Amino acid sequence: MSKLALSLCAMTMLTFSGCASFADMAGADSATLNAQSAQSFTKMTQEARAKNQLDISSNTYQRINSVFLRLKPYADQMNQTGQRFDWQLAVLKSDTVNAYVAPGGKVVFYTGIVNKLNLTNDEIAAIMGHEMTHALEEHAKSKIGAQALTNLAIGIGTSYAGANIGEAGNAAISLGSQIGIGLPYSRNLESRADYGGLMLMARAGYNPNAAISLWEKMDRLDGAGGSSFLSTHPSNSQRIGDMRKNLPAAMAVYKRR
CA distance 195 to 191: 6
230, 206 contact by CB (below 8 A): no
Closest CA to 74 of 197, 190, 242, 191: 197
Residue 225 has pLDDT above 50, yes or no: no
How many domains does the chain divide into? 1
| pLDDT of res. 28 | 57
Output 237 or 110, whichever has higher pLDDT: 110
What local confidence, expressed as pLDDT, does residue 159 receive?
46
Please tell me the distance from the alpha carbon of residue 248 to that of residue 254, in angstroms, as a whole number. 10
**Given 47, 123, 131, 138, which residue is catalytic?**
131
What mean pLDDT comes out for the span 87-93? 96
Residue type at 225 in one-letter notation: G
User: What pLDDT score does 138 carry?
Assistant: 84
Give this prediction's pTM. 0.75
Report the alpha-carbon distance of residue 98 to residue 75 in Å, rounded: 21
pLDDT band at 246 (very low <50, low <70, confident <90, very high): very high
The C-alpha atoms of residue 209 and residue 4 are separated, in whole angstroms, by 46
Range of the domain at 30: 3-255
Question: Is 131 known to be catalytic?
Answer: yes
Give 24-38 pLDDT, tens digit per residue.
444 457 788 888 889
